[in-house]
Structure 1
Amino acid sequence: MSLTNIFDVAGSGMNAQSVRLNTTASNIANAESASSSTGDVYRGRHPVFQTQMLNEMNGGINSPQGQSVGVEVTGIIESDAPLQRRYEPDHPLSDEEGYVFYPNVNVVEEMTNMISASRAFQINVEMMNSAKQMVQRVLTLGQ
């Protein structure tokens, strides 16, 4: 892996954590949205990541350009956790039995995810800054 691949790894990591932050923010925003049926209730969403690696050939020589390295977001899945069913007969969206359905979003878990994603994004930024400083120092060696 060359020094320039560090920028690809950090950039893909920043992109992945940005998607994670956006889905977490969406989950928190919809955490208390009520519905009268299970089909209409918002369900928590979570991104799915997959690592991408360069294929090493001939004793450590990197594979041809064009192959990606880092993290890829392969999709966003809905949580299959059970929905929250609350007895609120006075709620305008309650069903005939008096129950209202709320999303399967735990705000405490989502805040933890948000903090984790924000720290991971921050670490990727620091990694890019460190690589940039190393490249600048290497360029000043020839002066």
Structure 2
Amino acid sequence: MGAFDLLTIAGSGLGMHQTWLDALGNNIANANTVRPTSENAFQAQMVIAQADPNGGVDVGGVALSDPEGVLTYQPDHPLADAEGYVRLPAMDMASQMSQLIMAQRGFQASAQVTKYAQDTYTTAIGIGSR
């Protein structure tokens, strides 16, 4: 492992966790998106993380939830069909919030590792210049 590999690995963690946070924010913002039954429901994004062969982590892709969603009886809604149904996302808000906490903690940990590595390298450079 080279001297700056720690920064590279922590930086990849920051990038992956930021992508995860962005996807979760979009999901939570659209949790109550109502669509007519003739359209697909909002599809939640699920970030797929994968190991980087050089160390660290990469975003392997983004999977989407079921476009069928959940049919909900809301006869007073302006988008309701003749039978009174609308389509909502098939998304569990508790799961989204739990994932949000995990993504935040992962981002914070990667940021802290980056800070420690920078401080260590700065101290080593200072010692070497004396």
The amino acid across from 1:27 in the alignment is N
More deviation in 105-114 or 81-90? 81-90
Aligned to 1:110: 96
User: TM-score scaled by structure 1?
Assistant: 0.82
> What is the Cα-based RMSD across aligned positions, in Å?
1.7
2:95 aligns to what SS in structure 1? helix
- Are the counterparts in 2 of residues 3 and 131 from structure 1 also a CA contact under 8 Å? no
Aligned to 1:131: 117
**1: CA distance, partners of 2:38 / 2:19:** 26
2:82 aligns to what SS in structure 1? coil
Structure 2 residue ranges without an equivalent (≥5): none
More deviation in 7-16 or 94-103? 94-103
Q: Does 1:120 align with 2:117?
A: no
- Measured after TM superposition, the shift of residue 28 of structure 1 is 0.5
Greater length-normalized contact order (CA 8 Å, ≥ 6 residues apart): 1
Quote the sequence identity (%).
29
Structure 1 residue ranges without an equivalent (≥5): 55-68
- Paired residue total: 129
Post-superposition CA distance 1:82-129 (Å, at most 9, x none): 622211112111112211110012222111111111111110011011
- Are the counterparts in 1 of residues 42 and 69 from structure 2 also a CA contact under 8 Å? no
